Structure 1
């Protein structure tokens, strides 16, 4: 990478912002590796370090020793954006393609994969709203289920070991362990699950799962007070359940008319023995015949779009992320209750 950056101008000087930018591009392609491994700036008397910095210094020493550059003459650093565009030319061309076209889908998918580094930089900066990010790409504006194939590819890039074939057998243990719960709604759900298909039984298990977790204290946000989320609130921030589609639509309209930020939502609708499911994102709603598929695709959506889990259901999502999807990140806060619930379900 250093050789490519310097190939047009061997006298080019890189500053700390340049090193940080190149490190972020590398990190976007290899997200499991820390940016600090490639560049750590000088701070508190410690010298700058990292593979990028060391390689640059060694390469310039080599150029100087062979007489190709004069170390005494320094040249101001040029715009690294243009250099990175040249280095990642294929990546940027792919990015341009998905900004202009929504078909044929095979080509969109291929260019989507090739443009991952560029897109992840946009998301990782946390300076763009999800709706604005999606609006950049025609394929995402369409109410088309192909969007989930894109999210899946991004999730695989971020987490190479992510589980793809989920059997959700853990849901049966959830129903078994939840039988001691006193909540009347939970008791009703567990009783109904006895007369359901395997698919709907597991879906009911996911509705019950939040009730195994303790009530969650939500830290105060700007202008608001801290509060303790009830188990119902935890469940509804994980999966909403309505007996009719009309009630679900009314709820969504209220949200769209409010100023509440819209995270991805899972909605189960219908009789418990014949559940349908939807995943909503901004103003789009995607239907799923199998409610378990809706949960799986919503998880990939959270990963691919770099969206935080809802505060109320973070513990539930973290549990699923680690123990169901085999995804661990440096941001995970694994409480003792999460570990305890996993141990009880594995007995």
Structure 2
């Protein structure tokens, strides 16, 4: 039976039914393929569609197979687990390619006759489609545009970064820049072609004419149609072609992964099985979005999920140094530098007050916040002036501090701040939340990440967890605090990656600390020599 799905005939209720029917058809096909046609009507009655089947846990599986013989229950369990495991390894949903093709067709059809004469045809968009189809970000942009017929700022920035990365990897010239800009205009008619033109400066990185508010990193877009919370993934500075499974896979990883997909307790079992599929998960983390990761490994969302992040980080960076172990010496070394470099009266007062603070967490947080005055942000973003004209503005020190630690007087205020953040069409990267009247005396410390709140025992532990989330989930640092986090990564943790970008102030501070450390060592050696003589 043909369905009338024209815009005027489809109400929200009908849309839901059409969508559900399509998903049920896939489930019905699977059940027939597995040899369980008698379950089709039950699945329809209970609205067990393809999404529900993907995350069906053992207790629900028993409910729908209770009338089957034990032998057939065993067979159904085997078919379901194998299928769930196969889906866990796929980057996209079943119909992603169809969505992409539909987007291309719709994009071309919507163009006026004049546009068709003056732009490239679908067959001539090969270069741009190749870029977009090669990664999750690009396919998500196509899906988003097929629904909204327009790109929002986050999608536009992500598209720009994908093009820029490709342009640079091909050692691009003016001809390639013109080609890509034309193809953008063809696929996304609402975009300004000239804003996507690229050029190289001193034969190094491409300079992008359009302003990119996430200029210090490459974007990562989630697949949500309304991008209220986005975790931006990092892209390497140089193009690489790693093997599909750089870490290999442990024996028995499949069974442990399936257990972790459906179970978040008892916690001792979770942690034990967690380390037994470490390599398998490391491969998955490198290639998938945060949304997909948390769906496959829901234990991350539990109160003790940060312990799993610890394990994943240690596996990924076995030679990383420890913030908690390194802090005592770092605190001694950094205080003289803060006193020497920060001369504003209010900052001088803050530094002097450090010795009087009795709350260790407040003191540690204060030192971290003072560091932002040395590790000044360099990224820019677009804003509107009083006349409504778009202007380029630089992130401030306060922006950098705010993206690192947010403060709320009580839990109600915490929720209000989180609601405000969700309403903004910009990425919500991991950050630290202090609950209390001031930064100097917090009553509760937590790390916020994708609606997860990890409660922490100290400021140092919160910073440690927050930092490790960026690296385990392969996320970008927030642009306002990019310089700060780069320093924390390279100096405190002594970790260097293919994603690193040079930051002058971070490099200068590292050199000063290393110079002071060398001077201190030489002084001690001289003292020992004097004592011997």
Pick one of 325, 342, 366 that aligns with 1:166: 325
**Structure 1 contact 210–231 (Cα < 8 Å) conserved:** yes
Deviation at 1:91, TM superposition (A): 1.8
Pick one of 233, 247, 250 that aligns with 2:399: 233
What aligned pairs does 1:1-347 form with structure 2 within 5 A after superposition?
23-25=243-245, 27-29=246-248, 89-126=251-288, 128=289, 130-142=290-302, 144=303, 146-164=304-322, 165-169=324-328, 170-179=330-339, 180-182=341-343, 186-197=347-358, 198-218=360-380, 226-242=392-408, 245-270=411-436, 271-275=438-442, 276-346=444-514, 347=516
TM-score normalized by the length of structure 2: 0.45
Find the aligned partners of 2:306 and 2:376 in 1 and give their Cα distance: 32
Secondary structure class of the residue paired with 1:263 = coil
**Deviation per residue, 1:263-305 (Å, 9 max, x gap):** 1111234334423421001112222231111101111111111
- Which stretch of structure 1 is more off in the superposition, 202-211 or 131-140? 131-140
Q: 1:215 to 1:141 in 2, by over 3 A?
A: closer
Q: 1:89 to 1:226 in 2, by over 3 A?
A: farther
**Structure 1 contact 171–206 (Cα < 8 Å) conserved:** no
**Deviation per residue, 1:102-140 (Å, 9 max, x gap):** 1222221122222233323333224x2x23421323323
Q: 1:112 to 1:182 in 2, by over 3 A?
A: same
**Deviation per residue, 1:79-111 (Å, 9 max, x gap):** xxxxxxxx7551222211110111222221122
Find the aligned partners of 2:346 and 2:435 in 1 and give their Cα distance: 16
Secondary structure class of the residue paired with 2:500 = coil
Paired positions, count: 264
Q: 1:136 to 1:310 in 2, by over 3 A?
A: same
Runs of 4+ in 1 over 6 A off after TM superposition: none
**Structure 2 contact 300–308 (Cα < 8 Å) conserved:** no
Q: 1:183 to 1:245 in 2, by over 3 A?
A: farther
Deviation at 1:248, TM superposition (A): 3.6
Compute the RMSD of aligned alpha carbons: 2.9
**Structure 2 contact 375–484 (Cα < 8 Å) conserved:** yes
Q: Which runs of 5+ in 1 are unaligned?
A: 1-19, 30-86
Find the aligned partners of 1:266 and 1:337 in 2 and give their Cα distance: 23
Secondary structure class of the residue paired with 2:510 = helix
Find the aligned partners of 2:250 and 2:461 in 1 and give their Cα distance: 35
Q: 1:100 to 1:215 in 2, by over 3 A?
A: closer
Find the aligned partners of 2:280 and 2:504 in 1 and give their Cα distance: 37
**Deviation per residue, 1:54-88 (Å, 9 max, x gap):** xxxxxxxxxxxxxxxxxxxxxxxxxxxxxxxxx75
**Structure 2 contact 250–277 (Cα < 8 Å) conserved:** no
Find the aligned partners of 1:178 and 1:22 in 2 and give their Cα distance: 42
**Structure 1 contact 220–226 (Cα < 8 Å) conserved:** yes
Larger radius of gyration: 2
